[in-house]
Amino acid sequence: MSNPTSASPSASAQHQPTPITANVAEIRTAWIDWRDNHITARDAGPAPRLRVLGGVDIDSTTSEGQAYGILFASLFDEQALLDNLWIFANDHLTTRGLMHWHVGGYGVFLNRGAATDADVDMALGMLNACQQVSAGLWPPSTNGLDYCAIATDLINAIWEHEVDKPGREPRGGLNTNAGYELLPGDQWDLERDFPDGIVNLSYFSPGYFRLFAAFTDNPGWLDVIARGYAIAQQAQSIPGNCSRLVPNWNTYAGRVQTVPWHGETSAYWGWDAARFAWRVAVDRYWFDAPESRQMLNDIGGFFSSVGIGSVRTEYRLDGRFVQDFRTAFFTANAASAIWAAPNPTAVRCGQAGGILRSTPQQAYNQVVATIEPNAPSNATYYNNAWRLFALLLMSGNFPNLMTLDGGTTVAAVPPVPPLPTDRPTPTLIPTRQPTTVPPTNLPTQPQPTALPSAIVPLPTSTPITSAQTALRVQYYPNDATAISDNHVRPFIRIHNDGPDRVPLSELTLRYYVSIFDNQPLVFTCDYAEIGCGNLTGQFVAVNPPVAGATDYVEIGFSGGAGFVLPGDDSGQMQLRIHKANWAAFDELNDYSFTPRFAEFTDWPNITLYRNGVLVWGIEP
């Protein structure tokens, strides 16, 4: 394209406009990075077979990942890649015609049986390929694949084995059910294991199912849509569910279904459930279904009331987040709900503050900014796949290909309206977010239980605070109950309440300590959402020394640290200071320390500078 940054640009051959301004190059880069990091010929069998790595571990393949690869390839016009991925999948089908969900190398079945979420994504990818050929946009497969026949077989197999019809079909369903519930796979035994039914609403794909109904001339798929939305509405009405989110697993009556592999997290808006928002957003985008509008007004309203930059990892139904760090997966699905909600409702529930804070464009921008940057792993596989799904959908590059010339047109479906642009301008309000659960790969520290009486007093002169600047520093004393051990452990983050993004490379922080034994000090970053490699720390003597401060560590940021976006924060930085000889500290003498805070709190005793000018706090 001549203008790669424009409203609703085209990243693939087919495109349905939305009001989002996006950069096509960013979307294509997201695809290329995911493709090159996770698709391989290693242990995939005879050429030209390819497989996707990730889902359980970074060496094995899941049907979910194989389906993601096929679906992405259908949208990015990579026909040969789609063929090669399908040929591998086809070699690992169950007797019912659906891919076994966990495969090692070629012919190595690690866990048997199909998974419905993978099956519906794979079926849509093959349906897309069928439509590309039918419309004359792709040539026939050079491998002799009949995409239309493959799509038909997959959709019919899902219908036969993974939809619990009324009565005794299929064999794995319930015998006395209302009917048309979506089963989690093709080899379950609900009468034995889950007699009140089991549904994973993140597998429910109503937009897809409308296409399946038209493509296979099976109106029963419309019953699956109605039943899925009914269960979701019941889940939203669970007592105490002020967020209107849905849990990972449900019974047929919409209650929480506790499964042994998830335990208490079965009740969370978790690593399964959050996909529900994106899948319903597809139904809103393609068909403007009334049920999708209602669901998205609720879910999009909750996350807009949280603020897209403040969305964290996993939520309880009472609106409290579970883990205090940002992930691309949860950001992407929350953003999709904000983008697709026609009239989001402000919510006061848990982290949601009762004011709509994020527009669709801001939601999209946050998805762009939130990426799992590490070497190929399960984290990059899953987080970045869902980041790409959100980028495609919100930018208009996840089209309904059955509307292509030469393809089948879905009958009696209203035209896709443009998503609204008249959302309210966000009101940015400061929030405090407790950090009770650190990233799981980090050791936990005890929370403060008793506060010593001898503490460094708060400053008596007037600090520069958020009344004068858009930036503020929040602090949590991770070692509040270990004030005389051999290290200092401040947790810090920088919050931006202003309208403009701020380069972290322009900022420096100062944390003040008192040292009386002349021992050299050592600075360490244990964890930072922006990456410890993007932080620097140097010690400077306070001259002359003052009460509470003989030295400070000045913390700086490289260009790779990125920006603090409007209404967002830098993410937490878990820092540590120790003496070269590991001698003990007395933190009660340190100006920047207080044991008073049990959560991140604005703290003027840590000062912040922008291009060398004090913009927050008060120096000792």
Give the Cα separation of 129 and 135 in Å (integer): 10
Give the Cα separation of 468 and 292 in Å (integer): 43
Backbone φ and ψ of 291, nearest 5°: -65, -35
Q: DSSP assignment of 151-201, as one string?
A: HHHHHHHHHHHHEE-SSS-STTS-SS--S-EEPSBSS--HHHH-TT--B-G
Q: Is a pLDDT exceeding 50 seen at residue 442?
A: no
Q: Which tokens go with 520?
A: 């050299």
Torsion of CA 222, 228, 233, 238, to 10 degrees: 160
Encode pLDDT of 449-469 as tens digits.
222 222 233 333 334 444 346
Give the Cα separation of 34 and 30 in Å (integer): 6
pLDDT recorded at residue 15? 55
pLDDT recorded at residue 225? 98
Give the Cα separation of 194 and 257 in Å (integer): 9
Q: Which residue shows structure tokens 């503020």?
A: 472
Position 16 confidence tier, pLDDT thresholds 50, 70, 90: low
Encode pLDDT of 177-208 as tens digits.
999 999 999 999 999 999 999 999 999 999 99
N residues, the chain = 620
Encode pLDDT of 211-222 as tens digits.
999 999 999 999
Give the Cα separation of 141 and 162 in Å (integer): 29
Give the Cα separation of 157 and 478 in Å (integer): 54
Q: Which tokens go with 365?
A: 């921008």
- What is the mean predicted confidence (pLDDT) over 589-606? 88
Cα 317 to Cα 47, 156, 320, 611: the distances in Å are: 48, 35, 7, 43
Task: Give the dihedral sign, CA 376/382/385/390.
Answer: negative
Left, alpha or beta for 151 (phi > 0: left; psi -120 to 50: alpha)? alpha
pLDDT recorded at residue 78? 96
Specify the 3-state DSSP secondary structure of 485.
Answer: coil
Encode pLDDT of 371-425 as tens digits.
998 788 889 999 999 999 999 999 999 999 998 644 443 332 223 333 333 322 2
Tell me which fold the domain 471-616 belongs to.
Immunoglobulin-like (2.60.40)
Cα 264 to Cα 191, 248, 267: the distances in Å are: 23, 10, 6
Backbone φ and ψ of 517, nearest 5°: -115, 10
Position 482 confidence tier, pLDDT thresholds 50, 70, 90: confident
Encode pLDDT of 37-76 as tens digits.
999 999 999 999 999 999 999 999 999 999 999 999 999 9
Domain spans of the chain, in order of start: 19-403, 471-616
- What is the mean predicted confidence (pLDDT) over 598-620? 92
CB 207 within 8 A of CB 285: yes
CB 169 within 8 A of CB 110: no
Burial class (CB in 10 A: 0-12, 13-18, 19+), 434: middle
Of 362-366, 465-469, 491-495, the poorest mean pLDDT is in: 465-469
19-403 to CATH, choices 2.60.40.740, 1.20.140.10, 1.20.1090.10, 1.50.10.10: 1.50.10.10
Q: Are strands 61-62 and 51-52 parallel, antiparallel or unpaired?
A: unpaired
